[in-house]
């Protein structure tokens, strides 16, 4: 098939799926057809349709709204370095996918665009913040789509949508040209894909430092694509279903992880029940405060760029409250929180001197219903103080942050750990519950060792294939093609 034919097919699938699931919020159809018709770089993905997440992935001349009314008119004038690498690999960008406002929530339900729905059951969320990307891949629009992960935002939607999602090691991926790190080094970008092979091949064409990089992951010994077919050897795997942060693990998620542990044991790996020993509640509190500081920072930069004050009506209530908590932080509070996270990082990293991999559920719950976790910060505040108090007074209430933390991480108590440590971590789609909803299993490896995770993922994919599973809503229903 020609690239033009492939792009037309992807566009037809977007037009069929979008009214049902709402994954693509910035169509780029004319641009994709123009690129597909012209000379394409001779890269390994020459002519393959692809989607960008509408957050940070700047494509010159097209909106980048990050799910926010505040950025409704923002159009970048240059490509992000990662987008340049996608283009050089031959990919043809056909659109940008939905994300929660500023990528903050683990569900994809921004006021600006409305919710993206899960292809396995549209009453449920595809997760977030890369929910649009995951829904697009799961529903057969494209084989892979770009996402980002600052607290689980690749792995969460990968679990919810039954696709493969790897968060690479800190320093593995470019973040320029205007940044040297994202979210204090906790966030990194890559793709969600149907297969392990495609994730590895995409990492091969995008990884590597920039001149302005402040983190450098160690160079791989060979292409990541070659690792997928190699045997991982006999691994020492730690396994737990106990949440690291304040939460309770749903029986479906615990059972899926136990089945994965049994699968690993049957493949010859040594599987022990073990977990890093650290204060999960303190970790969650400090990590949440870093999120709030990050939101406050983004608002300050926007105010400088727009030359005006950002008002409450410019943002969703939960985003605004998160930013206001960040603004109330003192410099000592910020630094203490960061230093405590770094202490936890050292504790967790030492755990991997004993084990090769840590296996957990990806999430503490199956995919939530649409609307179930739309404004956790706002709802927690209202639970504490009611609806009539002033915001300034509310944010000074002792213990409020702890209430918010308990609410915020009930769904995602496993994923943020690897963001703080910088370790590679992947959600592998090995389970489905009785309701037919996907349940991912998460594997976290040593810093810089994506190669081992790809070898393990390839082994698991061969032992328990998932690529042929199709959700309730799939493009083949509309186009008559697989």
305 classed as catalytic: no
Cα separation of the two ends of the chain = 15
53 classed as catalytic: yes
Could you say which of 3, 68, 129, 130 is catalytic? Answer: 129
Angle at 240 between CA 104 and CA 108, to 5 degrees: 20
**What is the phi-psi region of residue 12: left when phi exceeds 0, alpha when psi lies from -120 to 50, beta otherwise?**
alpha
Could you say which of 153, 193, 337, 441 is catalytic? Answer: 153
Judged on CB neighbours under 10 Å (0-12, 13-18, 19+), 226 is middle
**Main-chain dihedrals φ then ψ at residue 143, nearest 5 degrees:** -75, -20
337 classed as catalytic: no
3-state secondary structure of 254: helix
3-state secondary structure of 27: strand
- Of 290, 261, 435, 287, nearest in space to 357 by CA: 261
Question: CB-based contacts of 460: which residues, under 8 Å, 6+ apart?
Answer: 260, 263, 264, 267, 428, 430
Are 31 and 38 a contacting pair, CB within 8 Å? Answer: no
- The C-alpha atoms of residue 428 and residue 363 are separated, in whole angstroms, by 12
Q: Which residues are tagged catalytic?
A: 53, 129, 153
């Amino acid at each position: 098939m020609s690239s033009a034919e492939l792009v037309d097919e992807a566009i037809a699938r977007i037009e069929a799926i979008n009214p049902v699931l709402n994954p693509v919020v910035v169509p780029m159809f004319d641009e994709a057809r123009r690129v597909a018709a012209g000379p394409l770089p001779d890269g390994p993905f020459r002519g393959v349709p692809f989607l960008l997440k509408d957050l940070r992935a700047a494509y010159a001349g097209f909106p980048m709204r990050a799910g926010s009314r505040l950025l409704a008119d923002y159009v970048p004038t240059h490509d992000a370095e990662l987008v340049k690498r996608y283009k050089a690999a031959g990919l043809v960008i056909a659109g940008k996918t939905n994300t929660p406002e500023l990528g903050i929530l683990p569900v994809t339900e921004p006021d600006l665009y409305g919710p993206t729905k899960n292809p396995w059951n549209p009453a449920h969320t595809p997760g977030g913040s890369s929910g649009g990307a995951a829904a697009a891949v799961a529903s057969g629009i494209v084989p892979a789509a770009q996402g980002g992960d600052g607290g689980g935002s690749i792995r969460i939607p990968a679990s919810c949508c039954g696709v493969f999602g790897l968060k690479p090691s800190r320093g593995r991926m470019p973040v320029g040209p205007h940044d040297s790190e994202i979210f204090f080094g906790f966030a990194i970008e890559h793709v969600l894909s149907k297969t392990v092979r495609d994730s590895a091949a995409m990492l091969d064409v995008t990884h590597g430092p920039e001149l302005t990089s402040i983190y450098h992951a160690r160079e791989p010994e060979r292409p990541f694509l070659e690792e997928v077919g190699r045997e991982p050897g006999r691994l020492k795997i730690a396994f737990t279903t106990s949440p690291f942060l304040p939460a309770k693990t749903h029986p479906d998620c615990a059972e899926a992880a136990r089945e994965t542990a049994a699968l690993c044991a049957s493949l010859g790996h040594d599987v022990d029940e073990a977990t890093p020993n650290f204060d999960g509640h303190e970790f969650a509190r400090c990590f949440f405060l870093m999120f709030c500081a990050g939101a406050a920072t983004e608002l300050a930069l926007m105010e400088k760029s727009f030359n005006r004050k950002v008002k409450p009506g410019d943002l969703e209530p939960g985003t605004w409250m998160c930013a206001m908590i960040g603004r109330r932080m003192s410099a000592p509070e910020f630094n203490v929180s960061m230093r405590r996270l770094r202490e936890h990082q050292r504790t967790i990293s030492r755990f991997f001197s004993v084990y090769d991999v840590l296996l957990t559920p990806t999430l503490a719950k199956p995919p939530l219903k649409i609307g179930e976790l739309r404004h956790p910060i706002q709802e927690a505040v209202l639970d504490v103080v009611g609806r009539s108090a002033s915001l300034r007074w509310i944010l000074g209430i002792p213990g409020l942050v702890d209430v918010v933390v308990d609410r915020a991480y009930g769904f995602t108590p496993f994923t943020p750990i690897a963001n703080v440590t910088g370790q590679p971590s992947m959600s592998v789609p090995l389970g489905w519950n009785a309701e037919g909803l996907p349940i991912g299993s998460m594997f976290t490896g040593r810093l810089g060792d994506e190669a081992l995770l790809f070898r393990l993922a390839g082994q698991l994919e061969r032992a328990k294939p998932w690529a042929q599973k199709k959700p309730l809503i799939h493009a083949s229903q509309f186009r008559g093609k697989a």
